[in-house]
Structure 1
């Protein structure tokens, strides 16, 4: 079934060049992927790609004539299109999907001078053309004020990976956990049009994993026309804990004690991340910066979960705000005897 480019750009078959340009600009800005949240970004990317393809076909007089006569298949198989090769070369591609002319139109919209003799050559990554050299997202894209343009890619190129944060509690990262994640991704249907499919993925969180650990599902990202399916990546994020803070493989606890407890001793009661009760006797005098280290009660070490880091207890001594004369006298008497 032929895609209706006129309907995509919301114009009629008699629309002139200026009106077509305005319609394209309005829709391209509206559906730019950077303007949408991660939840809706895949939908915006698919919509944006359709808008670019429609404008590419209708803004070129030769292509528009071919499209009006033969439909999308006429462009796909390059029927009688002497200008197609020239247009495709502008972005390094060829044939349908690689002949976008957005570089020219973005020059006029944004004043970037893109494509002029004085401007730098466009950089590309994962099939997009940009006019800015600053990499973002681990080098998967180049970001600029202009709108990215999809181009045809060499055989075997993959679509850009999609990353999502996966929030985990310290308990999950201590004991390990199994998650089921419902995902939505864009794949082409039998006619080549982008469609959204849903799937449930199982994630096995291993004991000892740290913030930043990546779980990759090959080919579970978006499947764009002309590209192999991209990867889907989940990145571990650690949720804050009420009792413990993580420091590498160690766990740190801040314990508030009174001055009397600092001088006379205290039993610290803790519940571990796997539910055990620890009773830790502190008999030494607690001085500023004092720390008690309990070996083997920290986080599991991911390479060998049988090994664990340490538990560190740091003390915050609460001094009294005031003392009566009798209290001061008692303290002096007691301390002077010990000295």
Structure 2
């Protein structure tokens, strides 16, 4: 049969009328009916009888004959799948084999309805792109960002291949003046039903709707010669695309950036998007300045070490804090101003940029004050403030080199004027009860239980890598 057409099987011309086809079939049916031949010829006769019956059924049906003439019908294609059921529900359904049949009057649609699959559910009408198959046209990427990336903003470029609508056929998948018909396999639904046997339940069958392979789920069918040569009938072609994703300054540590319309395209469907998913990851460069900062929303946290004398009496010498954009902030504490354990210096507008702020506003910079206490037995002797400073092991800053916020020494004659972009700051002192708990040095350092021994992994400063 592979080398004979249905017309040849019945021995009629391609222009034969329905009456001619019926007449030819009756004659051949009498000749090849299994009951009319000997037992030795019965197997071959059954095959031949099925072939002429299929040819007759197709050519006597106007729609199916037209599909066959257009090349859209495949030999062996029937109105429904064949079933091989070996189970028996007390004889209520009967065993059906071959010919697409259940025993008795129980049809495949009845069986599908029995199991709640709603065999008719996929037949309500053709969906966009054929059946009701859900197609994800988005293209996703992932990357990591550092604190500096979130502080300054970052442009991420991705080059990839995507599907676009074919420019030659405008997405139809057809050549000019070509004819497209409803797919005869799925009747234009884009989906077909497959019956599968469920293991472990006595061979119970269930129905699954899958995209039709004959039309690739589109619901429409065309001959190979009628398909667009550029896209091979798919309606889309491949294109190399470069997309830029902007992670804006002040963006959250984890987020999504979407470029509309840069995903895959399908005929009669909205083009998908290109999506970048990013997450914060600490800079692997141990020398990076961002290790000196911790972020909480729009606020940044850092620390400054002072000795007990300065905590009690203030300090007029320059203290510099370098920001992520490499500016230097100058901090001075008036004489007589006391800083207590847990207090923080809050510098307004020096934290993280506020996302999409029209005025380029920033959050606050919280400077945790780490007070350096003297060794044991420091008060065995009494004296004035100068002697107390010496007893505590600290020297007069006016007579030696100063240190910046990170412990780096500055020469006597190379102080504020030698540091680029030094900015005077206006700040206020807040007690431990008025700053965020996550920043409160006093509350968090209660984890250090052994006096005189600081656990580097405990307390608020445990996250620093200094």
Q: Which TM-score applies when normalising by structure 2? A: 0.35
Q: Which protein is bigger by CA-based radius of gyration? A: 2
Which is bigger in relative contact order (C-alpha 8 A, separation at least 6)? 2
Is the helix fraction higher in 1 or 2? 1
